[in-house]
Each structure stands twice: as structure tokens, then as C-alpha cells.
Amino acid sequence: MSRGRSGNKQRVKTAKGRKIGSTRWLERQLNDPYVKKAKADGYRSRAAYKILELDERFKFVRKAKAVVDLGIAPGGWAQVIRKFVPQAKIVGIDLLPVDAIEGVTIFEMDFMDDSAPDKLIDALGSAPDLVLSDMAANTVGHQQTDHLRTMGLVEAGAHFAVENLQDGGAFVAKVLAGGTDNELLVLLKKHFKTVKHAKPPASRKGSSEWYVVAQGFKGRAEST
């Protein structure tokens, strides 16, 4: 690793066997102010600031009492909930292993497994008032396929929210460029009082990610 001439920006030498893309990613990580701030604040990832910035605008974190975190790895969102709402019950799920977080129940399994929704609700012990989804499919390098696979996960998360949320609850999910697909947008607008799209400052400018924030769940009886 070498230090560039301008300021404290760090540059990474392309090591043998390391792809140029990987080198650029590592260099970007080392110079990312959000990554540095996350380390200083004790968060596991820069994603913690995405939910903090979304909450600053939409005010859904501090109201939460029962939270389901879909795609919890590495745990930054759950850490934020624990910090600002320590009494909240939190249950998360991810295919990837996640280091334990005090007060958070974590399942290492596929959310698309038929048994996953019931396990999450049973562990939570009540209907959630906030469902978070940071799920994204592993990319295969084909843009349209990657988009469809990820949006399929978002849609599954939305259906889970509609089937389980408490009245007045919220659903917050990562979507891709272009926002929520029309069919999913129709579903959310049918069941929630407000549906907004936002790109928090912590999302990298070159990233295709946006977030959909659906608030004021109408309840299953009223919205069917």
C-alpha cells in the first residue's frame, strides 16, 4: 500500500493475482469517509448511516418496538436499532454468517425457505411494527438478470411485511436503479398510506441502490 501525493488519500498497489476491480474497491474502501466513521463509531458497516439518514427524514427507527431485519449481514442496521431503541425486539436473517449482536436473534438461513417467515415471527413473539430489507441477490454479471433476482427478494420481503405487520407499521427496503417495479409499487400503495423513494447520502453516487420507504400499514382487513 502506498500513500498518494495529494493529502492522505491511500492508493493500493495491484497485487499479483488481484483483479483491477478488486484493487479499486479496496482503494475506495480505504478512502471512504463513511467507512472510517463506521469504524470510529463502532458500526460494522457504512450501511448504518444509510438507515440513520433515512430515519432522519422518515422517522421510523425510534418508533420501532418489534423489528424484522431481512438480509441482516453484517449487522449495521440492527446495531443502529439497538443503540437508539434498546428496548426493541429484533430478529434477523441472512444466508451469510453474522457475528452475534447483544439482544438480537439471528437466523443463518435463506429467507426464501418456506419455514423462514414462521421462524422469524415465532422468535419475535409478536407481529413486527418495522420490517427492514437489505437483501440483494448474488450478481451473475447480467444486469437484467441481477435486477430481476434482487427485486424478487424485495417483493418477497414486501409480501412478508403485508402478511405480518402491525397496523401503522413500516417497510423499508433496498431497491435498484429505477426504484420499485410497478407491480410491487402497486402492492405497497395498496397497503400503506405513504410510499416514498430515497437515496441517502451514504449511498455511493455510482451505486444503483435506492430505498423504498412504505409507512402507515393499513392493516390486512382494510387494505384487501
Question: Within 10 Å of residue 72's Cβ, how many Cβ atoms?
Answer: 26
Tell me: is residue 41 an annotated ligand-binding position. no
Tell me: is residue 94 an annotated ligand-binding position. yes
Whether 174 is a known active-site residue: answer yes
**Cis amide bond preceding 74, omega within 30:** yes
Angle ∠(71,73,79) on CA atoms, nearest 5: 105
Tell me: is residue 152 an annotated ligand-binding position. no
Tell me: is residue 75 an annotated ligand-binding position. yes
C-alpha cell at 172: 423499508
In this structure, the strands spanning 104-108 and 130-133 are unpaired
In this structure, the strands spanning 104-108 and 10-11 are unpaired
In this structure, the strands spanning 66-70 and 130-133 are parallel
DSSP string across 154-221: HHHHHHHHHHHPPTT-EEEEEE-TT-S-HHHHHHHHHHEEEEEEE--TTS-TT---EEEEEEEE--HH
Tell me: is residue 103 an annotated ligand-binding position. no
Pick the catalytic residue from 13, 37, 39, 174. 174
Binding residues for S-adenosyl-L-methionine: 75, 77, 94, 110, 134
Q: Which residues are annotated as a binding site?
A: 75, 77, 94, 110, 134
Residues designated catalytic: 174
